[in-house]
Amino acid sequence: MKNEEFDVVVVGSGAGGSPPALVMAQKGARVLVLEKGRRHTRDDFLHDEISMCRRDYFTPFPVDDPHTLRHGETETAQRTAAGWISQCVGGGTVHMSGFFLRFHPKDFALSRHYGALRGSTAIDWPFEYETLAPYYDRVESELGVSGDTTDNPFAPPRRGPFPYPPILTHPVSAWIDDAGRKLGLHPFPMPRAIITTPNGSRGSCVYCALCGSYGCEVDAKSSTLVSLLAAAEATKRCEVRAECMVTEIEVMRNGLARGVVYEDAQGQRHRVVARAVVVAASALESARLLLLSRSSSHPNGLGNNSGQVGRNLCFSTLGQLKGRFDYADFDAEGVEILKNPMPFVGRAIQDAYEVAPSGDVFGKGGTFHFLWAHPNPIFAAEQLIHAREHERERDPRRLIFGRPLIERMAKHFRDGRTLEVECFGEWLPTPGCYVSLDPKITDRFGLPAARITIDRHPSDRASSQVVVDRARSMLEALRCRDIEVEAVGGETLVLQHGTCRMGNDPTESVTTAAGHLHEVSNVYVTDGGSLPTSGAVPSTLTILANAFRIADHMAGAMG
């Protein structure tokens, strides 16, 4: 293998990898970004559910690049696509929905604010909200986030308005505002990683209704592909190589990382020598890469002498509800409002972000927000096949087919609209929730797959129930029919944290507050794996902000 030399090599191009690529290129470093997946342009993004959502366009088939999953250590792990966020330049930001809420100040110090969390391995972050606040501002500006600072009395402190005006919302949002006020709640506009006015080559949102699970055909969605990576490449000091699988981080005799080895699309192996290595392949895949990078000085994997790599895995707790607006229940004006084609409901509620401790509820609740049912027709039909909540009580395996299914589909697509609610809550890390190398199953490169072992803390479901109950009261106040709770304390495996968490004590953390491994000072972890806890909002914004913060530390350390 021939050696190529760069100042910095970045593994992964999503929310964790793009900020250090941009910052270091702007500082004058020669940066190489290696991405396992393909590179797409906006011309590639079709409104085709089969090709975009039901093939391996964004995430791989389990037969090629599996994860394995088990609930508890006694269960046999099975191949799965679960836990893949994305494989493409820009990572999951390319096909995200872009709900960009900040962590709250208490999220950074759970034990200090809520006391000992029995059964959990959670630790407090090595810094406070105030440290990350300017980086939240930076992400909102450099990526492009739209929003409105009013109406949320529970919002964490911020210095100024959002850089873009809020998205236009469906008129049902006024119904939500009115119903919330009557219940003493405070609905507020959901900030989105979507630009609402043009910026250079990026167009403003065209309200196509297909954000989540799709790429944006006008570049209005603020993926790192069209924002941070584009800016990094414009410096002429950053190169992005797609379809390059990093298989190992090499270490020199002095204990520092030498660089990485990767395999290209033609199966050729290459070595990149660099002064610093940034690992940002997702919390699962970054831990896997560190565990694969064994040497005489790191026989258990790079940075894993304390056995913490892959441990303390936490996702995001999910509650899901839905209710129906039947057109027959409304007058002509109400039906006209409901049939309005505007795709975004654009309302969230955080009144239950903190709640009174009770039983297994330690004091944290969460966030819930409203959205119309996704317009994907195949996905909708799959949901309609399953029995409703009250029917599952009699026969949990019951499926609907034939004439009853046809009638249900006609009602769903023709006779009304379905309003959904997503509830995000804190997932407390436990000793039994972690990622390791599967002892039997390998990927197409012949490497052990990441094995996900899930164990849940009792507070996850208890706290989620509090938020779900609050959300149900809103659906009832909106006079929805057929209200159904689909999940309480569920699992959102695309929001990943904790496997390489930051901390001051190397016996209970993997990386320092500056972001590098305790054991190897020139290897940095900048994705969700570095986050000690999950918060009670989607974490993409926080991953980006923390990656910018670590990049500044790295620039200072490298001079």
Lowest mean pLDDT among 63-67, 207-211, 384-388: 384-388
Ordered alpha helix ranges (H), 125-268: 129-139, 172-182, 228-234
What DSSP string describes 484-542?
EEEEEEEEEEEEEE-TT-B-S-TTS-SB-TTSBBSS-TTEEE-SGGG-SS--SS--HHH
What is 3-66+78-558's CATH superfamily?
FAD/NAD(P)-binding domain (3.50.50.60)
Q: Which of 115, 129, 124, 187 is nearest to 459 (CA)?
A: 115
Mean pLDDT of 173-180: 98
Query: Phi/psi at 94 (nearest 5 deg)?
Result: -70, -40
Reply yes or no on whether the pLDDT at 491 is more than 60.
yes
Gap between the Cα atoms of 513 and 525, Å rounded: 11
The per-residue pLDDT for range 270-306, each reduced to its tens digit, is 999 999 999 999 999 999 999 999 999 999 999 999 9
401: confidence class by pLDDT, cuts 50, 70, 90: confident
Gap between the Cα atoms of 208 and 192, Å rounded: 15
Q: What pLDDT shows up at residue 109?
A: 98
Q: What percent of the chain is modeled with pLDDT above 90?
A: 93
Q: What pLDDT shows up at residue 396?
A: 60
The per-residue pLDDT for range 502-556, each reduced to its tens digit, is 999 999 999 999 999 999 999 999 999 999 999 999 999 999 999 999 999 999 9
Q: Helix, strand or coil for residue 22?
A: helix
Gap between the Cα atoms of 86 and 516, Å rounded: 24
Mean pLDDT of 375-384: 91
* Cβ contact 483:321 at 8 Å: yes
Between the CA of residue 186 and those of 181, 367, 446, what are the distances in Å?
Answer: 6, 12, 52
The per-residue pLDDT for range 77-92, each reduced to its tens digit, is 999 999 999 999 999 9
Gap between the Cα atoms of 504 and 518, Å rounded: 9
Q: What pLDDT shows up at residue 394?
A: 60
User: What residues have CB less than 8 Å from 327, skipping those under 6 apart?
Assistant: 335, 338, 339, 415, 416
| Angle, CA of 326, 328 and 330, to the nearest 5° | 85
In Å, the largest CA–CA distance within the chain is 77
Residue identified by tokens 């991405």 is: 35
Gap between the Cα atoms of 103 and 98, Å rounded: 15
Gap between the Cα atoms of 551 and 557, Å rounded: 10
The tokens of 230 are what?
Answer: 């584009």
Gap between the Cα atoms of 233 and 152, Å rounded: 37
User: What residues have CB less than 8 Å from 142, skipping those under 6 apart?
Assistant: 22, 227, 228, 231
The per-residue pLDDT for range 11-54, each reduced to its tens digit, is 999 999 999 999 999 999 999 999 999 999 999 999 999 999 99
User: What residues have CB less than 8 Å from 5, skipping those under 6 apart?
Assistant: 30, 272, 273, 274
Gap between the Cα atoms of 548 and 178, Å rounded: 39
User: What residues have CB less than 8 Å from 183, skipping those under 6 apart?
Assistant: 473, 474, 477
